[in-house]
Structure 1
Amino acid sequence: MNYSTRFWESIDQLVANAKVVIDRPAHTAHPRYPDFIYPLDYGYLEDTTSGDNGGIDVWRGSLSEQKATGVICTVDLTKRDSEIKILLGCTPAEMQVILQTHNTYTQAGVLIVREEE
């Protein structure tokens, strides 16, 4: 069994069966940390659950096809948690910007890029 294929099919199913809610549009400030400006649209998948009991986080890029192009796994030492962030329709350059965003302060993240099928 190809676990990578199964993983991406599962991510696709989560995205297909949930509404993408963008509650932090690109170029807006974080509500609690006004010095942080979101470089791209950020939100969550409605009716899903993440490690912080909110919806699974998503970053939305500029590609017209909004399929999952990657996932970032994060660890936040301040919050003492770990989460995934699904990257929807992100270019390679956008994925690098998001990865840098999740490797600041007490956060660490790794990027898993979806291979072309």
Structure 2
Amino acid sequence: MGNYENNAFFWQKIDTLVFSSKFVLSRKQGEQHPEYKNLIYPVDYGHYVDLAADTNEGGIAVFRGSEKSSMVKTAVIAADILQKEIDVKLLVGCTKAEEDLILRFLNQTDFQKTILVRRGNEIPEWGLTD
């Protein structure tokens, strides 16, 4: 599996962010991307925004699958050379089949490629605080 090291404390922080936010739907499953009409969203897509914020702009990008769970089990890290950015998107309530569809959706062009990071329970030595 390569040199990836998980950190359970990272996922705890993700849980805190998710549970202190509200989900705002941007695109429903089956809708076209606003700029790239050949890209069709495989699941609902939106953002978690701060419950206390006055605006629904920005936030944490989220793909929401068909499962009723609100636990984040995976995240996708995307390198986008058109936007010149590294972007993180959380996958919530997604089945393995939906994860595959999301990865295919995000990797359709040569301008963006992604990796999938699965939740783990390990705590590496460097993850501990005093």
TM-score for both structures, normalised by structure 1: 0.86
- Decide whether the 8 Å contact of 2:40 with 2:105 is kept in 1: no
2:100 matched to which residue of 1?
A: 96
1:19 equivalenced with 2:22 (yes/no):
yes
1:109 matched to which residue of 2?
A: 114
Instruction: Give a deviation string over 1:44-89, Cα, whole Å, max 9, x none.
Output: 11139xxxx8221000011111210200000101111011000001
Runs of 4+ in 1 over 6 A off after TM superposition: none
Q: Which of residues 7, 10, 17 in structure 1 aligns to 2:10?
A: 7
Name stretches of at least 5 consecutive residues in structure 1 with no aligned partner.
none
Give the secondary structure class of the aligned counterpart of 1:7. helix
Q: Distance in 2 between matches of 1:114 and 1:63?
A: 17
Q: Distance in 2 between matches of 1:104 and 1:57?
A: 18
TM-score for both structures, normalised by structure 2: 0.78
1:78 equivalenced with 2:82 (yes/no):
yes
Quote the offset at 1:35 in angstroms. 2.0
Q: Which of residues 35, 54, 57 in structure 1 aligns to 2:58?
A: 54
- Using CA pairs below 8 Å that are at least 6 residues apart, which structure has the higher relative contact order? 2
The alignment of Structure 1 onto Structure 2 pairs a total of residues equal to 112
Q: Which amino acid aligns with 2:47?
A: Y
Q: Which amino acid aligns with 1:34?
A: K
Which shifted more, 94-103 or 2-11? 2-11
Give the secondary structure class of the aligned counterpart of 2:21. coil
Query: Is the alpha carbon distance of 1:3 and 1:38 closer, same or farther for their aligned partners in structure 2, counting shifts above 3 Å?
Result: closer
Higher alpha-carbon Rg: 2
